Amino acid sequence: MHNTSKSEMELKYVPTICPYCGVGCGLNLVVRDRRLVGVEPWKRHPVNEGKLCPKGLACNQFVHSADRLTTPLIKKSGKFAEVTWEEALGLVAAKLKATHETYGPNSVAFQVSCRVSNEEAYLMSKLARVGFKTNSIDNCARVCHGPSVTGLALSFGSGAATNPLADCMNADCIFVIGSNAMEAHPLAGRRLIMAKERGAKVIVADPRYTMTAKQADIYVRFYPSAIIPLVNSMMYHIIKEGKEDKEFIETRTKGFQELKTTVTKYADVEDITGVPTEAVKEVALLYAEANNAAIVYCLGVTESRTGTDNVRSLGNLALLTGNVGRPGVGVNPLRGQNNVQGACDMGAYPNVYSGYQAVDVEENRCKMEKAWGVEGLPSTPGLTLTEHIDAAGGKIKSMFILGENPMLSFPDITHVRASLQRLDFLVVQDIFLTETAELADVVLPAACWAEKDGTFTNAERRVQRIRKAVDPPGEARADWEIITALARELSVPGFDFSDVEDVFNDMARITPQYGGITYARLEKPEGLVWPCPTEGHPGTPILHVGAFSSPDGLGTFFPIDYVPPEELPDEEYPFVLMTGRILFHYLTGTMTRRSPTLNAEVPAGYVEINPDDAAALGIQKGDSVRVKSRRGEVETVAFVTKDIPKGVVSMPFHFKECPANRLTNTARDPLSKMPELKFCAVAVEPAYKEVSETG
């Protein structure tokens, strides 16, 4: 029994970073008697300046949940049994080793959540490559901002946000497209409002009249998926009016003539976008004529089978007007999870090592082999996350899922379930028994962010420290400790780390962007923004100043034509389904639905439907309805609102009782492999309860 000492009864404040969205707000966890008792915003933090959104303010609430996993579990005769770490890790090591020896390197796949720290994502990447000689490791950016990584790298040479969030204050015009920042990234939304109050014009383009759209000076409602024609048409009008930045185009870009030829076809796009020509022209000129104009976007742009092209279109727009490489401009994706930037930076990606060093470049492979003390690293990129699912049971026999929940977050979850069940062996490491963990052969209990040290990298490329405030429950361990223990069980060399700082240093020595970052330097509230290549380097908040990060230093225009979504509405499935996030919940609800404050705000899912559509179907607000697609159906309740256009319905994807991703389409972007999560055809009908014979 634990006897509480006098010092333990005193309040302690442990500075760390919010575990939810990619804004990366600083906060203090308030600890008393070894338990979290509250959260206090970090007043001097440069990102949130003493403010937090509802999720941040309640981020302590799931930590001591009675549902936390506390012991390793092995499925025996279809039921989970509690076992020792020794037994669980022994079985995981034996099974993964046997799969590898029997079927070869690419028969084992690794999936990494963007919730884990940089150090943990790096270790998983190292284990896959050194221990199993496979590049089939990927992270959940694949189903959120994969197209940003690919698209921005192609356009500008670096697949990351160009400017810090606070830099909105230097913009005269902010073009927000496909982002409901006020709900999904509230402290980024705050920056938009502050910029507007200072005099910046805020344009919000979105099919839904969101909480963010309601803050705009100009709201542009466009048809879902019509980003390319909308942006091409904006560029047509900018060029026609002679408002392009000729000097910037001449000195800092290539490919302009091809772009110009393509956008000539997009003078009038009202049929495809629903936006009248005059309105397109108005926002185009507002953006082009501003001294400094910034673009902010999110999943409305990326979650499409043309996601990479959508991102490159925004890159084209910024290049055309010279809005890259100085304060108050740029192209800025709002990243979804706390460490989605970091998980990509760390090489938990099938085609690159940490720092985006391509696996198919011999020089890079030699560098990593030398640093890691191994030979024979694979030279071909591995499979992506969604390809893992398709290959499960075929080419892929065993899978290690670290902190992800594809059973709610991937498209067509009936297909996901069938695929995972075809595996010979599935191990899931998580903090709760998620819908995915329920399918596992072995479940490893992990510490949550408040129970470990490490670093996160936010959407601005800002690397920040997280700090342990309380002990993990039961026998749960930090992810990095579990991975190193497994590596030792497998006799994989290079995993003798004394602590997590040691892991960071192992990564930083081979990752150019992080080369000058140390834990000591991260003690400052503002952390460090990569690239920070040397010890004395101050970090780089604004990218592409003077030259782009591409090998020739130029930004690239891409001529991009419109391709419609794969599955259009028809007689049988007459509505377009969009999916999205809401203010009080986060991803698959694993943490927020166990936070009493957040769950009390929105305890259940719903479908938004326009009043005219609802009336035509005989549906009223609060009625039970059935939403059906070619892949399945869910029952939920109707939320009738003019905020959604006719012919479109929208569902948050957080709720396991009515999982929106049972309906969504697996069609993929050929470049980034992003699925078309924001567009599929559905039918909606009233759901009448069947009356039993006995009444």
Residue numbers of the site for ligand SF4 (CB under 6 A)?
18, 20-21, 23-25, 48, 52-53, 55-56, 185-187
**Residues 379/350, Cβ–Cβ less than 8 Å:** no
Contacts of 123 (CB under 8 A, 6+ apart): 480, 483, 484, 487, 495, 503
Shortest approach of ligand SF4 to residue 550 CB, angstroms?
31
Rounded to a whole number of angstroms, the minimum distance from the CB of residue 271 to ligand SF4 is 38
Shortest reach from residue 187's CB to ligand SF4, in Å = 4
Min dist CB 57 to ligand SF4, Å, is 7
Phi, psi of 689 (to 5 degrees): -70, 135
**Nearest CB to ligand SF4, comparing residues 21 and 31:** 21
Q: Taking a C-beta distance cutoff of 8 angstroms, is the pair 431, 448 a contact?
A: yes
Helices 146-156 & 307-320 angle (0-180, nearest 10) = 40
Least Å from the CB of residue 298 to ligand SF4: 13
Query: Closest Cα to residue 429, out of 66, 18, 69?
Result: 69
In the complex, minimum distance from the CB of residue 42 to ligand SF4, in angstroms, rounded to a whole number: 10
Minimum distance from residue 190 beta carbon to ligand SF4 (Å): 8
Beta-sheet strand order (sheet of 201-205): 218-220, 201-205, 173-177, 293-297, 330-333
Cβ proximity to ligand SF4: between 196 and 395 the closer is: 196
What CA–CA distance (Å, rounded) separates 30 from 12? 6
Assess contact for 5 and 34: CB atoms under 8 A: no
Tokens 């803050």 correspond to 215
Q: How far is the CB of 54 from ligand SF4 (least distance, A)?
A: 8
Q: In angstroms, give the least distance from the CB of 121 to ligand SF4.
A: 18
d(CA 156, CA 356): 14
Q: In terms of DSSP bridges, do strands 575-580 and 648-652 run parallel, antiparallel, or are they unpaired?
A: parallel
Nearer Cβ to ligand SF4 (39/392): 39
Other CB atoms within 10 Å distance of the CB of residue 537: 15
Question: What are the tokens at 261?
Answer: 């030829």
C-alpha closest to that of 45 among 599, 567, 525, 657: 525
Q: CA angle 216-220-223, nearest 5°?
A: 140
Smaller CB distance to ligand SF4: residue 56 or 569?
56
Q: Looking at beta carbons only, is 21 or 311 nearer to ligand SF4?
A: 21
Tokens for 153, please give them.
Answer: 């790298």
Query: Please, which residue, 52 or 93, has the CB nearer to ligand SF4?
Result: 52
Measured between alpha carbons, how far is 685 from 665 in angstroms, rounded to an integer? Answer: 20
**Residue number, 229 or 580, with CB nearest to ligand SF4:** 580
User: CB-wise, 23 or 288, nearer to ligand SF4?
Assistant: 23
Instruction: Give the nearest distance from C-beta 597 to ligand SF4 in angstroms.
Output: 13
| Alpha-carbon span 445 to 213, nearest angstrom | 41
Comparing every residue's Cβ against ligand SF4, the nearest one is 56
For the CB of residue 340, give the shortest distance to ligand SF4 in the complex, in Å: 12
Closest contact distance (angstroms) between CB of 31 and ligand SF4 is: 19
Distance CA 626, CA 639 (A): 13
Task: Write a three-state SS string for 560-626.
Answer: CCCCCCCCCCCCCCCEEEEEECCCCCCCCCCCHHHCHHHHHHCCCCCEEECHHHHHHHCCCCCCEEE
Measure CA 251 to chain center. 34
What is the spatial distance between Cα 106 and Cα 84, in angstroms, rounded to a whole number? 29
Nearest to ligand SF4 of 187, 578 (CB atom): 187
* Closest CB 20 distance from ligand SF4, rounded Å: 3
Measured from the CB atom, the residue of 56 and 72 that comes closer to ligand SF4 is 56
Amino acid residing at 530: W
Cβ proximity to ligand SF4, 182 vs 293, nearer residue: 182
Return the number of the residue (492 or 602) whose C-beta is nearest ligand SF4. 602
Q: What is the smallest separation between the CB atom of 55 and ligand SF4, expressed in angstroms?
A: 4
Q: Which is nearer to ligand SF4, 52 or 143 (CB)?
A: 52
Element (H, E) at 80: strand 79-82
The CA angle 215-218-221, to the nearest 5 degrees, is 95
Classify 651 as helix, strand or coil.
strand
What does the radius of gyration of the chain's CA atoms come to, in whole angstroms?
A: 25
Query: In terms of CB distance, is 52 or 109 closer to ligand SF4?
Result: 52
Amino acid code (one letter) for 668: R
Question: How far is residue 16's CA from residue 650's CA, in Å, rounded to a whole number?
Answer: 34
Both tokens of 434, joined, read 């998620």
Q: Nearest 5 degrees, angle CA 356-CA 298-CA 62?
A: 90
